């Protein structure tokens, strides 16, 4: 899996009007965030409990699906049903009104609606590598212009339109529409040689560059080469489809060469009620190349290039989908040099250095193979689903993060990676050679 995609749309039994978030005591709110595998994670406090949420412009509601053994007092709850990406139709949950939600020091909503997922098997944290308790969407954006600075890792919420205008002076302005509480933009998609204006969801919760829906595009033909792949997980199950590259994506003067493109199959989107004429999504692999200002109240988006703009679109060509399996205690041996005092025959002190060993027990992450794409380098080498990682390039995986592992698998073609795994209590060693299976090829 190239990374977990949270492209989620929900159908709720009922809907509620909300006032939304407000800045309480200054002209702006500053919110730090983590950017992990192209996903934005922000600190969210719900009814006095600190949690970590994915910021996702592709969802309307605030969704809670994990508490990490924490306890929150929810009031005014009732049962609801909703659906999202995946092959099954709907899952059950709860809605809860009038919650106190605070983000940062001074951005809060005192009457926030939260939807709670009851299915404990839904756990996105294992594919992110850090705790993820939920997703927050439209209500975060609805009242204010909001800047996301991917370089400084800070979000700025502006209290006045004047402050937002001042910050956006050197940015390119784009008109957007807010439909069903989600932002849409017109981009030009060039599969091979012809630019086609296409309505795209601006989706912060999608870690890929681009998603296209083949069934919604007239005379669609897959670019070659392409591969069948696991695209991610939605609340209703796994999402499958194809991956390839297109020739170019255009956002006015901003041009992206050979971006990676995911194309979910019709079964994965069959339960989604899409807005008219939508063709796909622009994800965070594109957005992270800018400083972005979302201005929902005025139907505008501002983009300013940052130093990541010309980064290549890299692909995890190992074929491995790695998941985080929690933490375990690992014994580290620490050498401690001490001094022992003796005396010679005349009573003069003599100091000798003595080496001793001390054992430290440290919590370190565990990782395993969630999937290995057929005919990929990992599959050809012999690695299989549920294998447990011991080391990568002779480095213990407990000293790595999921993001570092995934970045390693995006190295250039021909890179050899040694992997040691445990399978059925046996240690096995493999060497895989990275090869991009979907390089863009011009039509002849």
Tell me the pLDDT tens digit for each residue of 176-221: 999 999 999 999 999 988 899 999 999 999 999 999 998 888 888 8
- What are the respective helix, strand and coil percentages of the chain, to the nearest 5? 10, 50, 40
Confidence of residue 341 (pLDDT cuts 50, 70, 90): low
Q: For residue 91, is pLDDT > 80?
A: no
Q: Which residues lie closer than 8 Å to 306 by C-beta, 6 or more apart? A: 150, 151, 289, 290, 291
pLDDT at site 434: 95
Q: For residue 326, is pLDDT > 90?
A: no
Q: For residue 21, is pLDDT > 70?
A: yes
| Overall residue count recorded for the chain in this entry | 444
Residues 305, 149: Cα–Cα separation, whole Å: 11
Contact 127, 3 (CB under 8 A): yes
For the record, the structure tokens of 184 come out as 């849409």
Contact 234, 7 (CB under 8 A): yes
The verdict on whether omega for the bond into residue 225 sits within 30 degrees of 0, i.e. cis, is yes
* Domains parsed from the chain with CATH numbers: 22-165 (2.40.70.10), 173-287+299-305 (2.40.70.10), 320-433 (2.30.42.10)
Q: The whole model's pTM is what?
A: 0.86
Number of other residues whose CB lies within 10 A of the CB of residue 36 = 19
Strand segments, DSSP code E, in 68-190 are: 77-82, 91-103, 107-117, 134-136, 145-149, 154-158, 172-175, 177-179, 182-190
39: three-class secondary structure by DSSP:
strand
Residues 74, 321: Cα–Cα separation, whole Å: 36
- Residue 114's closest CA among 153, 57, 60, 49? 60
Tell me the pLDDT tens digit for each residue of 133-187: 999 999 999 999 999 999 999 999 999 889 999 999 999 999 999 999 999 999 9
Residues 130, 429: Cα–Cα separation, whole Å: 27
Longest dimension (CA), the chain: 99
Q: For residue 123, is pLDDT > 90?
A: no
Q: Computed over its alpha carbons, how large is the radius of gyration of the chain?
A: 25
Residues 233, 84: Cα–Cα separation, whole Å: 10
């Amino acid at each position: 899996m190239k990374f977990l995609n949270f492209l989620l749309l929900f159908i709720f039994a009922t809907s509620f009007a909300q006032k939304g978030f407000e800045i309480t005591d200054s002209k702006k709110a500053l919110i730090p965030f983590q950017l992990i595998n192209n996903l934005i994670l922000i600190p969210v406090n719900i009814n006095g409990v600190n949690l970590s949420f994915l910021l996702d412009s592709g969802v309307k509601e605030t969704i809670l699906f994990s508490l990490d053994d924490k306890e929150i007092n929810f009031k005014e709850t009732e049962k609801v049903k909703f659906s999202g990406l995946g092959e099954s139709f709907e899952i059950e949950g709860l809605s809860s009104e009038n919650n106190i939600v605070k983000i940062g020091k001074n951005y809060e909503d005192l009457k926030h609606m939260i939807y709670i997922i009851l299915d404990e098997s839904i756990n996105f944290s294992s594919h992110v590598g850090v705790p993820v308790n939920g997703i927050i969407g439209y209500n975060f954006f609805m009242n204010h212009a909001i800047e996301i600075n991917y370089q400084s890792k800070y979000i700025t919420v502006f209290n006045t339109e004047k402050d937002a205008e001042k910050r956006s002076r050197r940015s390119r302005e784009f008109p957007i529409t807010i439909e069903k509480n989600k932002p849409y933009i017109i981009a030009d998609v060039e599969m091979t040689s012809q630019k086609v204006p296409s309505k795209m969801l601006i989706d912060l919760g999608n870690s890929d560059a681009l998603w296209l829906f083949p069934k919604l595009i007239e005379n669609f033909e897959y670019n070659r080469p392409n591969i069948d792949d696991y695209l991610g997980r939605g609340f209703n199950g796994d999402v499958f489809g194809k991956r390839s590259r297109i020739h170019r994506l255009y956002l006015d003067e901003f041009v992206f060469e050979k971006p990676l493109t995911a194309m979910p199959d019709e079964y994965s989107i069959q339960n989604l009620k899409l807005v008219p004429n939508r063709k796909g999504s622009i994800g965070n692999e594109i957005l992270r190349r800018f400083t972005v200002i979302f201005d929902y109240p005025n139907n505008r988006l501002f983009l300013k290039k940052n130093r990541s703009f010309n980064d290549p679109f890299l692909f995890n060509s190992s074929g491995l989908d790695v998941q985080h399996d929690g933490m375990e205690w690992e014994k580290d041996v620490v050498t401690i040099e001490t001094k022992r005092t003796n005396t010679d025959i005349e009573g003069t002190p003599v100091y000798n250095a003595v080496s001793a060993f001390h054992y430290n027990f440290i919590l370190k992450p565990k990782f395993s193979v969630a999937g290995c794409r057929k005919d990929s380098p990992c599959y050809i080498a012999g690695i299989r689903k549920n294998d447990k990682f011991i080391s990568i390039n002779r480095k213990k995986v407990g000293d790595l993060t999921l993001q570092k592992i995934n970045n390693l698998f995006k190295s250039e073609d021909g890179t050899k990676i040694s992997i040691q795994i445990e399978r059925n209590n046996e240690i096995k060693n493999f060497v895989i050679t990275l090869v991009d299976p979907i390089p863009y090829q011009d039509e002849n």
